[in-house]
Amino acid sequence: MYGDRVARWDRAVEWPLTIAAVVFLVAYATQILARERGSASAVAEAVVWVTWGIFAIDYIVRLVITENRRRWFIHHLLDLAIVILPMLRPLRLMRFLTILAIIQRGAGSMVRGRVIVYTIGATLLTIFVAGLAVLDAEQGNHGPIQNLGDALWWAFVTITTVGYGDYFPVTFEGRMVAVGLMIGGIALIGIVTATLASWIVEKVSAEAKTAAATQQQVEDLRTEVAELKDLLRESLTSKQTRESDIA
């Protein structure tokens, strides 16, 4: 019963949450890139909090209608962080967690056939949001990352674990973004590796079953041929016997 209620809720809010996530991302980017323009930044700030409220309502509803609240709570600590942390310490850095949770939630329903699309999309989204987050933390702090281009380059080399070292965060908030990005990069690689391994195992198993089925079909055919030979032999013997009797 409770499982059905959660499933129905997830289906009902799938598109609204997707739209809210897109609006959130646009507002988040606007807030950082239009920092010098007070009005645009203020509007973006308001939109960010409204969409955040939508995520909070979704979290509370799912917690209320789920059957095993304790288990659900433990498995959705990242969702809780999204709702609680900004209220305790309103750092823009914490908005990076929102996008990570959206990616994680989408990964749960990913089918194997879409792993490439999912991986590319999740990687690009993570790079973009991490670039925004580190730019927000680093701007005006006399570090090497002072524009969006440098921030995106840093995010790209960090998520791929290359780390050239030409751009790096110098603030605590920026380094926390780097930690999250490195963990995210490892997680994405793990998803791809595990999915590929699962696909290979499934293919090998399917081919083995096909080969076994083919061998069984050959054996069945041999048995049928042997039975036909026996029937033909019996028929010939019976005919010869009748002809002998007539003669």
User: What are the sequence ranges of the domains in the chain?
Assistant: 1-105
Q: Summarize pLDDT for 143-193 with one digit per residue, the tens.
A: 899 889 999 999 998 888 777 888 889 988 888 888 888 887 777 777 667
Measured in whole angstroms, the distance separating CA 155 from the mean position of its chain's CA atoms is 19
**What is the rounded distance in angstroms from the CA atom of residue 145 to the CA atom of residue 167?**
6
Q: Summarize pLDDT for 12-38 with one digit per residue, the tens.
A: 887 887 788 788 888 888 888 877 666
149's tokens: 């281009």
96's tokens: 């990076």
pLDDT at 182: 85
For the whole model, what pTM was predicted?
Answer: 0.63
Would you say 125 and 103 are in contact if contact means Cβ atoms under 8 Å apart? yes
Q: Report which DSSP code applies to 145.
A: -
pLDDT at 91: 39
Q: Summarize pLDDT for 182-224 with one digit per residue, the tens.
A: 887 777 777 667 766 776 677 667 666 666 656 667 677 777 7
Alpha-carbon distances of 176 from 49, 116, 130, 180, rounded to whole Å: 22, 28, 10, 6
pLDDT greater than 60 at residue 81: yes
